[in-house]
Amino acid sequence: MISYTQVFQGTAFSSSSPKEVKILKDHLFCINTDGMIEKIVAPEEEGYQILIDSYSDTEQFHHLAEGQYFFPGFIDLHVHAPQWAQSGTALDLPLYDWLNTYTFPLESKFSDIHFAKKIYENVVTTLLTNGTTTALYFATVHKEASLLLAKLCAEKGQRGLVGKVVMDHPEQNPDYYRDADTQTALADTEEFILAVNELAKSVKQGVYPVVTPRFIPSCTDEALKGLGELAAKHDTYIQSHCSESDWAHTYVQDRYDKNDAFALHDFGLLREKSVMAHCNFLNDDDAELFAKTGTAVSHCPISNAYFANSVIPIAHLHAKGVEIGLGSDVSGGYSPSLFDNARQAVISSRMLDDGVNPALPAEKRGLPNSRITMNEAFFFATAGGGESLSLPIGRLEENYAWDVQIIDTTVASAKLPIYSANEDLFDVFHKIMYLVRPENIREVWVQGEKVHSRM
């Protein structure tokens, strides 16, 4: 008989399509030495009882108690790790003022590796305890501190994709916080890529370097071009902010007479492994370019409500074939939880919908077909994020990584209103999506390893 490193028994939820969640009731999940789901066995299938008999007396067997469920780990497609230190502050400022009066002064302090360590340890742990098993991080311009963030992800068991931020434009960035010059920015980025790739050789769950021009305004053309070339040379991920606010969008129009999407594309920055945050002002041509190049959108609904004053037509972009995942945008978004962001994604989409205010004339009521359901928000937080990163994560299916949050609906301090053992499991799923708090996230596993436990 094949031997598995772990066998889990319980009820799981996973997206079967963007709109549909499937329930795997009392299934067995058999995990191999690589931390992948090798086999899933339903109770009615042959071998189910044999597996239970052979594993149930071993430490490798994990049986969920009543009221506990498996959820795929969440994939946060946009987090500014240093900004965790200011989460919840200055949210009333416009983006440009917020960057200059709060964010750049804070990020400049990450030249101090001890300061960086304190914040980065805390943010990686916080994301894990909130169920985020994979995170796509912006660090700061500092190479050493950015590498430290990748090392902390590796140590704490999170799948981290980390970018050393590039901001080389001498007029667009403050002197106290930018790359020394374009050549240094590119050389530091390449050294960072090589160092993270070296680190990755010994990291089971994977760590990845990400080419990270902060956004077009912060970079020179030379840097943007050089970063596109580096990403192609080393086949790396790419991340940036795209068409976020009126200010940024207009700036790019003035500089290139085109939208961010086409400008980024001209520099080789839209590729299969690209993830662009926000994208509130993408038009249909931009969306087609995203779909064609395999560029994904990181949808940051909480942040968009504050800094973009905007609701992105996410249903429309998805229908156009653009890959979409969810991002917290800490600290433009105050919450490190993708549960919170999934809730906001649904709420915001309903505010955009044309059914919003029947008292208004038809042309002012919003956009048709804008609503997304919680099933879709869950898809964006899990399977959509996995597709965006082209990694086998975000679904509880065979040949996917065992990246899981074990949700306990019975925790005394955060008990969910489930009063019958026979409650419809789709209702249970929705109660979890709307009501779960970190207290309910009992364990978190990444690539078959337990990385967080509340017991």
Rounded to a whole number of angstroms, the minimum distance from the CB of residue 196 to ligand GUN is: 21
Rounded to a whole number of angstroms, the minimum distance from the CB of residue 232 to ligand GUN is: 24
Measured from the CB atom, the residue of 260 and 329 that comes closer to Fe ion is: 329
**Residue 103 interacts with, from ligand GUN, Fe ion, none (CB under 5-8 Å by kind):** ligand GUN
**3 state DSSP class of 188:** helix
Q: With contact defined as beta carbons under 8 Å apart, do 72 and 403 qualify?
A: yes
* Residue 433 phi, psi dihedral angles, 5° rounding: -60, -35
**Residue 189 interacts with, from Fe ion, ligand GUN, none (CB under 5-8 Å by kind):** none
CA distance 301 to 326: 8
Rounded to a whole number of angstroms, the minimum distance from the CB of residue 331 to ligand GUN is: 8
**Residue 203 interacts with, from ligand GUN, Fe ion, none (CB under 5-8 Å by kind):** none
**Residue 99 interacts with, from ligand GUN, Fe ion, none (CB under 5-8 Å by kind):** ligand GUN
Which residues are at the interface with ligand GUN (CB under 6 A)? 80, 95, 99, 103, 214-215, 241, 244, 303, 307, 329, 332
Q: What is the dihedral of CA 74, 249, 349, 102, to 10 degrees?
A: 60
Q: With contact defined as beta carbons under 8 Å apart, do 326 and 304 qualify?
A: no
Measured from the CB atom, the residue of 57 and 171 that comes closer to ligand GUN is: 171
**Residue 311 interacts with, from ligand GUN, Fe ion, none (CB under 5-8 Å by kind):** none
| Residues of span 419-438 touching Fe ion by CB under 5 A | none
Rounded to a whole number of angstroms, the minimum distance from the CB of residue 332 to Fe ion is: 5
Rounded to a whole number of angstroms, the minimum distance from the CB of residue 163 to Fe ion is: 11
Measured from the CB atom, the residue of 214 and 371 that comes closer to ligand GUN is: 214
Q: With contact defined as beta carbons under 8 Å apart, do 152 and 126 qualify?
A: no
- Closest residue by beta carbon to ligand GUN: 332
Q: What is the token pair recorded at 33?
A: 């030495």
Task: Report the run of H or E that residue 269 belongs to, with start and end.
Answer: none
Rounded to a whole number of angstroms, the minimum distance from the CB of residue 384 to ligand GUN is: 20
Measured from the CB atom, the residue of 244 and 260 that comes closer to ligand GUN is: 244
- Closest residue by beta carbon to Fe ion: 329
Measured from the CB atom, the residue of 241 and 249 that comes closer to ligand GUN is: 241
Rounded to a whole number of angstroms, the minimum distance from the CB of residue 366 to ligand GUN is: 24
Q: With contact defined as beta carbons under 8 Å apart, do 190 and 218 qualify?
A: no
Measured from the CB atom, the residue of 80 and 143 that comes closer to Fe ion is: 80
The Cβ-side half-sphere exposure at 337, using a 13 Å CA radius, reads 17
Measured from the CB atom, the residue of 126 and 197 that comes closer to ligand GUN is: 126
CA distance 394 to 446: 11
Measured from the CB atom, the residue of 185 and 432 that comes closer to ligand GUN is: 185
CA distance 293 to 264: 12
**Residue 307 interacts with, from Fe ion, ligand GUN, none (CB under 5-8 Å by kind):** ligand GUN
**Residue 271 interacts with, from ligand GUN, Fe ion, none (CB under 5-8 Å by kind):** none
| Residues of span 249-278 touching Fe ion by CB under 5 A | 277
Task: Report the run of H or E that residue 137 belongs to, with start and end.
Answer: strand 132-138
Rounded to a whole number of angstroms, the minimum distance from the CB of residue 396 to Fe ion is: 29
Measured from the CB atom, the residue of 248 and 277 that comes closer to Fe ion is: 277
Rounded to a whole number of angstroms, the minimum distance from the CB of residue 86 to ligand GUN is: 10
Measured from the CB atom, the residue of 139 and 203 that comes closer to ligand GUN is: 139
CA distances, 315 to each of 87, 102, 205, 321 (Å):
28, 33, 31, 10
Residue 272: what residue type? E
**Residue 13 interacts with, from Fe ion, ligand GUN, none (CB under 5-8 Å by kind):** none
Rounded to a whole number of angstroms, the minimum distance from the CB of residue 266 to ligand GUN is: 20
| Residues of span 300-359 touching Fe ion by CB under 5 A | 329
Rounded to a whole number of angstroms, the minimum distance from the CB of residue 95 to ligand GUN is: 6
Measured from the CB atom, the residue of 8 and 307 that comes closer to ligand GUN is: 307
Where b means 16+ CB within 10 Å and e means fewer, 255-269 reads: eeeebbbebbbebbb
Q: Is 76 in the site for Fe ion (CB under 5 A)?
A: no
Q: With contact defined as beta carbons under 8 Å apart, do 388 and 62 qualify?
A: no
For every residue of 293-349, DSSP letters joined together read HTPEEEE-HHHIIIII-----HHHHHHTT-EEEE---TTTSS---HHHHHHHHHHHH
CA distance 320 to 261: 15
* Residue 31 phi, psi dihedral angles, 5° rounding: -110, 135
Residue 246: what residue type? D
- Residue 217's CB: how many other CB atoms inside 10 A? 20
Residues in the chain, total? 455
CA distance 186 to 229: 10
**Residue 237 interacts with, from ligand GUN, Fe ion, none (CB under 5-8 Å by kind):** none
- How many residues line the site for Fe ion (CB under 5 A)? 2
- What is the binding site for Fe ion (CB under 5 A)? 277, 329
